[in-house]
Amino acid sequence: MSHKIEFSPEALGDLIDLYDYIASRDGAERAINYIDRIEDCCRDLSVFPDRGSRRDDLRAGLRVLGFERRAVIAFQITAETVTILRILYGGRSLETAFP
């Protein structure tokens, strides 16, 4: 069964902020390529969503998946949907993102 992928407003904001950060340092082409890879990784969760580590200590049902050693994708799974909650880059704290 394939799950639908949804991005929360916070995750979309994280992607925009990340694009702006990378584009200002390394150029727009590199930034869009990185964002595309993150989005592909998120879409891959539709087939096998039970990846990553559970972080029920921060939020019931929260799972996190590392991405290319620089980012963390935080998401939640329901029967039909995987919701991408946050995309944290460069060591941003999960504890701060999910108080």
Is pLDDT at 93 greater than 90 in this prediction? no
- Name the pLDDT band for 10 (thresholds 50, 70, 90): very high
Order of strands across the sheet with 53-54?
4-7, 81-89, 71-77, 62-67, 53-54
For position 29, what pLDDT does the model report? Answer: 98
* 56 CB burial (10 A radius; 0-12, 13-18, 19+): exposed
The fraction of the chain above a pLDDT of 90, given in percent, is: 87
Entry pTM: 0.91
Is pLDDT at 99 greater than 80 in this prediction? no
What pLDDT, in 10s, does the model give residues 24-66?
999 999 999 999 999 999 999 999 999 999 999 999 999 999 9
Is pLDDT at 91 greater than 80 in this prediction? no
Higher pLDDT, 99 or 34: 34
- Domains and their CATH numbers in the chain: 4-93 (3.30.2310.20)
From the list 79, 74, 68, the residue with the least C-alpha distance to 93 is 74
Contact yes or no for 63/51 (Cβ under 8 A) = yes
Contact yes or no for 76/50 (Cβ under 8 A) = no
d(CA 49, CA 67): 15
